[in-house]
A and B are shown apart, each in its own frame.
Chain A
Amino acid sequence: MTIVKPIQIEVANQVFEAWDHLGVAGRAECLEQAVFSLSHAQASMARWQIENAKHEIGEDLLMPGPTGESNTLSTHGRGAFLVAVQSSLSGDNLSVGLIGQVFAALIAGNPIITVGPEGQAIMDQMSKYVPEGIIQNVAESAQDSILDATDLAGVAIICDADRAKHLNKQLAQKSGLLCQLVEETNVQALTTIAAPHYILRFVTEQTVSNNTTAIGGNATLLELGSKAE
Chain B
Amino acid sequence: MFNALEVLQPTILEQSLSQLWDRISPLYSVDEEQWLAELLKLAEPTDAQLKASTDAATHLIDQVRADGESMSMIDSLLLEYSLDTKEGILLMCLAEALMRVPDKETADAFIKDRLSVADWASHANNSDSFFVNASTWGLLLTGKVVSMDETKDGKPANLVNRMVNRMSEPVIRKAMNQAMKIMGHQFVLGRSINEALSRGKSYRDKGYTYSFDMLGEAALTAQDADKYLTSYMQAIESVGQDTYSKGYRPTISIKLSALHPRYEVGCEERVMTELFESVKELINKARSLNVGITIDAEEADRLELSLHLFEKLFRDDCTKGWDLFGLVVQAYSKRCLPVLNWLAALAKDVGDRIPLRLVKGAYWDSEIKLCQQRGLSGYPVYTRKEATDVSYLACAQFLLSRHAREWIFPQFASHNAHTIATIATIAENLGATTNEYEFQRLHGMGDALYNRLIKDKDVCVRIYAPVGSHKDLLPYLVRRLLENGANSSFVHRLVDARCPVSELVDHPVTTLKSRKTLRNPFINLPKDMFKDRKNSFGPNIEIEAEWKPFKASVDAFMGQSTQWTAMPIVGGENVSTTDVHAVNSPYDHALVAGQVHWANKEIVHQAIEQADAAYPAWSQTPANDRAACLVRMAELMEENYAELVALCHREAGKTIQDCIDEVREAVDFCHYYAQQARQNFAAPKTFTDFLGNTQQVQMTGRGVFACISPWNFPLAIFTGQVAAALVAGNSVVCKAAEQTSLIAFRAVQMLHEAGIPKDVLHFLPGNGATVGAPMTEHKAIAGLAFTGSTGTAQLINRTLANRGVAPVPVIAETGGQNAMLIDSTSLPEQVVRDAVRSAFASAGQRCSALRVMFVQADIADRVIPMIAGAMKEQSVGLPYLHSTDVGPVIDEKAQKMLLDHIEVMKKEGRLIAQSALPEWAEKGTYVAPTAFEISSIDQLKDEKFGPIMHVVRYKAKDLDKVIDTINNSGFGLTMGVHSRNETTCAHIAQRARVGNLYINRDQVGAVVGVQPFGGQGLSGTGPKAGGPHYLPRFAKEQLV
Give me the interface of A with B, judged by CB distance under 8 Å: 17, 21, 44-45, 47-49, 61, 63-69, 71, 73, 76, 78-79, 100, 151, 161, 164-165, 168-169, 171-173, 175-178, 180-181, 183, 185, 191, 194-197, 200, 203-212, 214-219, 221-229
A191 and B1032 form a contact (CB under 8 A) = no
B530 contact set on A, CB distance < 8 A: 64
**Residues 984-1040 of B contacting A (Cβ, < 8 Å):** 985, 989-991, 993-1001, 1006-1007, 1009-1014, 1016-1018, 1021-1024, 1027-1029, 1032-1033, 1037, 1039
Tell me, in angstroms, the Cα distance from A69 to B999 when the chains sit together.
Answer: 10
**Residues 512-534 of B contacting A (Cβ, < 8 Å):** 515-516, 520-523, 529-531
Report if B365 contacts A (CB, 8 A): yes
Given contacts A67-B369, A169-B802, A212-B980, contact A218 B991 (CB under 8 A): no
Give the size range of B's interface with the partner.
35 or more
Report if B805 contacts A (CB, 8 A): yes
A207 and B1013 form a contact (CB under 8 A) = yes
A44 contact set on B, CB distance < 8 A: 690-692
* Contact among B372, B804, B1014 for A205, CB-based, below 8 A: B1014
Of B73-81, B477-485, B760-768, the one touching chain A:
B477-485
Given contacts A178-B1021, A191-B1039, contact A208 B999 (CB under 8 A): yes
Q: Which residue of B lies closest to A222 (CB)?
A: B485
B689 contact set on A, CB distance < 8 A: 48, 194
B1027 contact set on A, CB distance < 8 A: 73, 205, 207
A71 contact set on B, CB distance < 8 A: 1010-1011
A174 → chain B closest CB, angstroms = 8
For the complex of A and B, 4 pairs with smallest distance between CB atoms = A217-B482, A216-B479, A48-B690, A172-B801
Report if B892 contacts A (CB, 8 A): no
**Residues 351-408 of B contacting A (Cβ, < 8 Å):** 364-366, 368-369, 372-373, 383-385
Report if B812 contacts A (CB, 8 A): yes
* Contact among B690, B806, B827, B997 for A161, CB-based, below 8 A: B806
B970 and A177 form a contact (CB under 8 A) = yes
A195 and B697 form a contact (CB under 8 A) = yes
Tell me, in angstroms, the Cα distance from A171 to B1033 when the chains sit together.
Answer: 20
Q: Which residue of A lies closest to B388 (CB)?
A: A225
Tell me, in angstroms, the Cα distance from A221 to B363 when the chains sit together.
Answer: 12
Report if B127 contacts A (CB, 8 A): no
Report if B830 contacts A (CB, 8 A): yes
B685 contact set on A, CB distance < 8 A: 196
B838 → chain A closest CB, angstroms = 13
Tell me, in angstroms, the Cα distance from A68 to B364 when the chains sit together.
Answer: 12
B522 and A229 form a contact (CB under 8 A) = yes
B365 and A221 form a contact (CB under 8 A) = yes
Tell me, in angstroms, the Cα distance from A114 to B176 when the chains sit together.
Answer: 55
Q: Which residue of A lies closest to B1030 (CB)?
A: A205
Write 12 A-B pairs (CB below 8 A) sorted by A numbering: A17-B991, A64-B1009, A65-B529, A73-B1028, A172-B797, A176-B1018, A178-B812, A205-B1014, A211-B999, A212-B999, A215-B830, A225-B485
Report if B807 contacts A (CB, 8 A): yes
A180 contact set on B, CB distance < 8 A: 1021
Report if B83 contacts A (CB, 8 A): yes
* Contact among A66, A68, A204, A209 for B997, CB-based, below 8 A: A209
**Residues 805-835 of B contacting A (Cβ, < 8 Å):** 805-807, 810, 812, 827, 830
B352 → chain A closest CB, angstroms = 36
Q: Which residue of A lies closest to B1019 (CB)?
A: A177
Q: Which residue of A lies closest to B89 (CB)?
A: A217
Q: Which residue of A lies closest to B814 (CB)?
A: A178
Tell me, in angstroms, the Cα distance from A175 to B806 when the chains sit together.
Answer: 21
A221 contact set on B, CB distance < 8 A: 364-365, 368-369, 523
* Contact among B531, B827, B997 for A206, CB-based, below 8 A: B997
A211 contact set on B, CB distance < 8 A: 998-1001
Q: Which residue of A lies closest to B476 (CB)?
A: A216
B385 and A226 form a contact (CB under 8 A) = yes
B520 and A227 form a contact (CB under 8 A) = yes
Given contacts A73-B1027, A172-B801, contact A181 B84 (CB under 8 A): no
A207 and B1012 form a contact (CB under 8 A) = yes
A205 and B479 form a contact (CB under 8 A) = no
Tell me, in angstroms, the Cα distance from A200 to B804 when the chains sit together.
Answer: 26
Q: Which residue of B lies closest to A223 (CB)?
A: B84
B807 and A68 form a contact (CB under 8 A) = no
New A-B pairs, 11, CB < 8 Å, besides A208-B999, A221-B369: A68-B365, A69-B1001, A173-B798, A207-B996, A214-B365, A216-B481, A217-B83, A217-B485, A218-B369, A219-B89, A224-B523
B523 and A67 form a contact (CB under 8 A) = yes
Tell me, in angstroms, the Cα distance from A76 to B1012 when the chains sit together.
Answer: 15
B396 → chain A closest CB, angstroms = 21
A175 contact set on B, CB distance < 8 A: 794
A173 contact set on B, CB distance < 8 A: 798
A204 → chain B closest CB, angstroms = 4
B522 and A227 form a contact (CB under 8 A) = yes
* Contact among B96, B521, B797, B1023 for A178, CB-based, below 8 A: B797
Q: Which residue of A lies closest to B687 (CB)?
A: A196
Report if B345 contacts A (CB, 8 A): no
B369 and A66 form a contact (CB under 8 A) = yes
Tell me, in angstroms, the Cα distance from A168 to B803 when the chains sit together.
Answer: 10
B839 → chain A closest CB, angstroms = 18
Q: Which residue of A lies closest to B810 (CB)?
A: A178
A75 → chain B closest CB, angstroms = 8
- Among A48, A176, A217, the most chain B Cβ lie within 10 Å of the Cβ of A217
A204 and B1000 form a contact (CB under 8 A) = no
Tell me, in angstroms, the Cα distance from A164 to B808 when the chains sit together.
Answer: 11
Tell me, in angstroms, the Cα distance from A65 to B368 when the chains sit together.
Answer: 12
A195 contact set on B, CB distance < 8 A: 697, 1037
A63 and B798 form a contact (CB under 8 A) = no
B403 → chain A closest CB, angstroms = 34
A208 and B697 form a contact (CB under 8 A) = no
B368 and A205 form a contact (CB under 8 A) = no
Report if B126 contacts A (CB, 8 A): no
Report if B158 contacts A (CB, 8 A): no
A218 contact set on B, CB distance < 8 A: 365, 369, 482-483
B687 contact set on A, CB distance < 8 A: 196
B990 and A200 form a contact (CB under 8 A) = no
Report if B800 contacts A (CB, 8 A): yes
Tell me, in angstroms, the Cα distance from A227 to B1011 when the chains sit together.
Answer: 28
B364 contact set on A, CB distance < 8 A: 221, 225
B852 → chain A closest CB, angstroms = 19
Tell me, in angstroms, the Cα distance from A175 to B8 when the chains sit together.
Answer: 76
Tell me, in angstroms, the Cα distance from A184 to B384 when the chains sit together.
Answer: 58
Tell me, in angstroms, the Cα distance from A150 to B372 when the chains sit together.
Answer: 43
Tell me, in angstroms, the Cα distance from A31 to B571 when the chains sit together.
Answer: 52
B804 and A212 form a contact (CB under 8 A) = no
Tell me, in angstroms, the Cα distance from A213 to B689 when the chains sit together.
Answer: 43
* Contact among A68, A171, A209 for B369, CB-based, below 8 A: A68
A204 contact set on B, CB distance < 8 A: 995, 1016, 1022
Q: Which residue of A lies closest to B1015 (CB)?
A: A204
A224 → chain B closest CB, angstroms = 5
B797 and A209 form a contact (CB under 8 A) = no
B89 and A205 form a contact (CB under 8 A) = no
A208 and B989 form a contact (CB under 8 A) = yes
B1023 and A205 form a contact (CB under 8 A) = yes
A66 and B372 form a contact (CB under 8 A) = yes
Interface string of B460-478 (1 = CB under 8 A from A): 0000000000000000001
Given contacts A176-B970, A212-B999, A212-B1000, contact A229 B515 (CB under 8 A): yes
A172 and B369 form a contact (CB under 8 A) = no
A90 → chain B closest CB, angstroms = 21
Tell me, in angstroms, the Cα distance from A221 to B381 when the chains sit together.
Answer: 13
B801 and A169 form a contact (CB under 8 A) = yes
Q: Which residue of B lies closest to A201 (CB)?
A: B1033
Q: Which residue of A lies closest to B804 (CB)?
A: A165
A203 contact set on B, CB distance < 8 A: 1022
Report if B793 contacts A (CB, 8 A): yes
Tell me, in angstroms, the Cα distance from A161 to B804 when the chains sit together.
Answer: 10
B692 and A207 form a contact (CB under 8 A) = no
Given contacts A216-B96, A229-B516, contact A168 B807 (CB under 8 A): yes
